[in-house]
Each structure stands twice: as C-alpha cells, then as structure tokens.
Amino acid sequence: MKKMIVASTSTIFESGYLEYLLPTLKKHFANVKSIVFIPFARPGGISYKDYTVIAKKAFETINIDVKGLHEFDNYKEAILEAEGIFTGGGNTFELVNQLYKQEVLPSLKIIVEKGVPYLGTSAGSNICGVSMMNTNDMPIVYPPSFKTLGCIPFNINAHYLDPVKDSTHMGETRETRIKEFHVFNDTPVLGLREGSWLEVKDNKIMLQGKLTARFFQQNKQPIELESGREVVV
C-alpha cells in the first residue's frame, strides 16, 4: 500500500521551504513523530548537516522531528525502521550515485512499497519513477545505473517548463528533450510543473495542485492532465 507525495519542487515563488505543501504533509504524515531525511542530492553543494537543518525547520511547524540519514550508523537499518521518509531535491545524479554507493536503494523501495509515508521533491521525486533519465540536472557524477525505485510506472520531469513565446533562447525545450528520449525509450514521462504534485495511494496516482501536467507517451501526442485527475498509463 504505497503512500507517497511526489512533488515537482520544495519551494514555489515567494514561499518558504515546503510551505505550500505543509497542509498536505500534515495529513500525509499523520501520526508520524519523526522522519528520516535523505540529503544526498545536496543542492548547490550544501552539506548534509546544513540541508537537514532546512528540512528540520520546515517540519517543526507541523510537529514532526527530522533526522538526516547521515546521522545514523547503519543507513539500511535507519531506512527500514523509519516512520516516514523525505528525499530532498538537488542533483539527481549525485542522489542516485549515493543511493547505490550506500546500498540503500533496495531498502528504500521495500519501505515505500510497504506503505511507509514518503515525500520526494525534485530529485527526490525523479527517483520515484522507472529511471532518472528525465532529470534536468548536469551529470556531475556517474551513478552505477540510471534505474531508480520504479514505484510509479513512468518517469518524472520535475520543474517542467513550457516554451516562452517570443523568447530568444535557441536551446531545446523540455518537450523536445522528452521527445528525443522517446526515440530510444518507451517509458512514459510526466512533465510536472512547479507547485504540482502527485498523491500516490497504492496504485492510484492523482495529480494535485493548481496547474495541469503534461503527459508524454512514445508515438503519441502529449496530453494535458487536469489537476484532480488520475494518471493512468
């Protein structure tokens, strides 16, 4: 019985860290007193300690304690015994690299599949899909595999951006890059815009937030999914 919040971002414009999600997280982590925070993505090269402090301050507002995974002697045991898990955003390559290096990806999949409440933002959401291959991040390290949790049957493109009319930018759009991916891969991809998230309960995946999401499938035209709609592959 999976119980997941898979969010595009931790912070939206003119909002504090996780602020826009806190009402949802209060319900999501009901009866949870403490969660284990996975800081491996370390945005901007921030230390695990400093990143954990940021997460801790946010969860204090809903009376939940946070302890960074790096603070435990046994990473696997910490994950398997966790009341809840939060994997923060940053660089997906480094996040996945560390999950493999520390040999905790299988343990994380076990507890998510068992129904331990999970929150992922940005990179922490990218790892919920079949693979991390639709991240926007630079490959600053080389993980052993792009395969991730596979707890949802498609990939996430977090922070999805639409083309800007009259823009002078000549690089590829997100849609172009996802179409390139589908030349070689058949895994569906969900473009998740800022402030949107997925609520996963067992095998039911609902789009939440104020915006639509863009769903891409190989050899099909992309479609816009309305908020409150189930994502069906």
Domain ranges of the chain: 3-225
Angle formed by the axes of helices 105-114 and 92-101, nearest 10°: 100
Number of Cβ within a 10 Å radius of residue 87: 27
pLDDT (0 to 100) of residue 56: 98
pLDDT (0 to 100) of residue 163: 83
pLDDT (0 to 100) of residue 232: 95
191: helix, coil or strand? Answer: strand
pLDDT (0 to 100) of residue 133: 98
Catalytic residues: 122, 137, 159
Tell the CATH superfamily of the 3-225 domain: Class I glutamine amidotransferase (GATase) domain (3.40.50.880)
191: number of CA atoms within 13 Å, CB side? 22
Q: What is the dihedral of CA 60, 64, 65, 69, to 10 degrees?
A: -110
Please give the Cα distance from 147 to 43 (Å, whole number). 21
pTM listed for this prediction: 0.97
pLDDT (0 to 100) of residue 169: 75
Burial of 218 (0-12, 13-18, 19+ CB in 10 A): middle
pLDDT (0 to 100) of residue 104: 98
Q: From first to last of the 233 residues of the chain, give the pLDDT tens digit.
A: 899 999 999 999 879 999 999 999 999 999 999 999 999 999 999 999 999 999 999 999 999 999 999 999 999 999 999 999 999 999 999 999 999 999 999 999 999 999 999 999 999 999 999 999 999 999 999 999 999 999 999 999 999 999 888 778 777 899 999 999 999 999 999 999 999 999 999 999 999 999 999 999 999 999 999 999 999 99
